Amino acid sequence: MNQPRNRPLAVGPLRAFEAVARRLSFSGAAEELFLTQSAVSRQIRSLEEELGATLFLRGTRHVELTPDGKLLQSAVESILDRLDGTVRQIRSTRGRRVVNVTTFASFASLWLIPRLEAFQRAHPDMDIRVSAHDQLVDLEDSEVDIALRYATPGRGVPPTAQRMFGEMLTPVVNPWVAAQAAEGQGPALREAADLRHFTLAEEDDQRPSGLFLSWRRWLALHGAPDLQPRRWMYLNFTYQQIQAAVSGQAVALARLPLIYEALERGELVEPFGRGGRTDCPTVYWLMLSRHGRSRPEVVEFARWIGEQAALTRRAIGEPDPPMDERSG
């Protein structure tokens, strides 16, 4: 019986394998890797010989992964992702300074990106890379320096996290819609019960945190638990709800820390004034990776984020947190 080989695999054949497995095409992989198709085939054959397993079923017009191939693909994808991330990190430290930030899409669109221009003017030698999606990223991944997240205290929040500001919800509408209601040229919009005449933009989120952001919670707190609006508009992201409100299509239950500047500019109005504002237990957090804390540019960007967070707290009327809650 043959003894299993213990020597490590070469990276070149693994990269060729990943490209073929992802595209299910030897010619497509060759084009992507700037190799000939025969060179890619040789690398795959050498990898199969090294493993003692067949990785692809090769047909006349198609390529299919074998069970062993699927198993290897799941491991290789994550390995190459981390390797490429580390290489980019090393290259960035030898050239321009780069800070890698991960956050959720609506926070990036409504809060972070509008503020970045001011930071970039003050730090022209520093590049900010923003990865915006709603999947949590491992904070100790070599490519992540800072995470800006949204969670209730104690739920997956490390002790080193810095509290930026809390959540506050408020109904908002297009100013023209509010003016029509005030002048009697449209349905009234003076109390919660009046919302039955309007379309309500609702976040289509089944997670526990989504319940805190729902119209149902707000309506129950404002004496209209059974209210049915003219229609519901279900949207995936907060910024989509804000777009619906700005365009006059719906009343949105907005996150005040993310839209108070739109209120100041007159792009949106609060039909119920400050009386429509409702607190929420969720909190916005700033988290630094372990390796990020040792890089001056990351510390500088985190300090600036903290300053911007303090401005947001003042704008929404929230006091500064106690010192033991600001950072770990």
CATH of the domain at 75: 1.10.10.10
Q: Are 202 and 215 in contact (CB under 8 A)?
A: yes
Residue ending a domain, choose from 35, 59, 92: 92
Residue 202 near residue 297, CB atoms below 8 Å: no
Asked if 156 and 32 sit in the same domain, the reply is no
User: Which CATH number do you get for residue 258?
Assistant: 3.40.190.290
Q: Are 196 and 302 in contact (CB under 8 A)?
A: no
Q: Is 4 part of a structural domain of the chain?
A: no
C-beta of residue 33 within 8 angstroms of C-beta of residue 16:
yes
pLDDT tens across 202-261, in order? 987 656 556 788 999 999 999 999 999 999 999 988 999 999 999 999 999 999 999 999
Q: Does residue 150 share a domain with residue 50? A: no
> Is position 1 within any domain?
no
Among candidate residues 33, 59, 92, the one where a domain is terminated: 92
5 has pLDDT over 60 = no
Distance, in Å, from the CA atom of 85 to the CA atom of 289, rounded to the nearest integer, reads 15
Per-residue confidence (pLDDT) for residue 209, from 0 to 100: 57
For residues 210 and 219, what is the distance between their CA atoms, to the nearest angstrom? 15
Residues 138 and 46 in one domain: no
pLDDT at 324 exceeding the cut of 60: no
Regarding whether 48 and 182 lie in a shared domain, the answer is no
Where in the sequence is the domain holding 84, given as residue range(s)? 11-92
CB atoms within 10 A of CB 16: 25
Do residues 162 and 301 both lie within one domain? yes
Whether 105 maps to a domain, the answer reads: yes
> How far apart (Å, rounded) are the C-alpha atoms in residues 163 and 107?
15
Q: Do 49 and 136 share a structural domain?
A: no
Amino acid symbol at 18: E
Measured in whole angstroms, the distance separating CA 234 from the mean position of its chain's CA atoms is 19
Query: Cβ neighbours of residue 230 under 8 Å, at least 6 residues apart?
Result: 196, 197, 198, 199
Asked if 105 and 179 sit in the same domain, the reply is: yes
Residues 101, 87 share a domain: no
Instruction: Give the least confident one: 85-89, 114-118, 224-228.
Output: 85-89
In a domain, residue 189? The reply is yes
**Whether residue 67 sits in one domain with residue 165:** no
Q: How far apart are CA 128 and CA 12, in angstroms?
A: 31
Total number of domains in the chain:
2
Looking at the structure, tell me whether residues 154 and 227 fall in a common domain.
yes
Higher pLDDT, 49 or 328: 49
57 vs 6, residue with greater confidence? 57
pTM score of the predicted model = 0.68
Final residue of a structural domain among 59, 92, 125: 92
**181 and 268 co-located in one domain:** yes
Residue 187 has pLDDT above 80, yes or no: yes
209 lies in the same domain as 292: yes
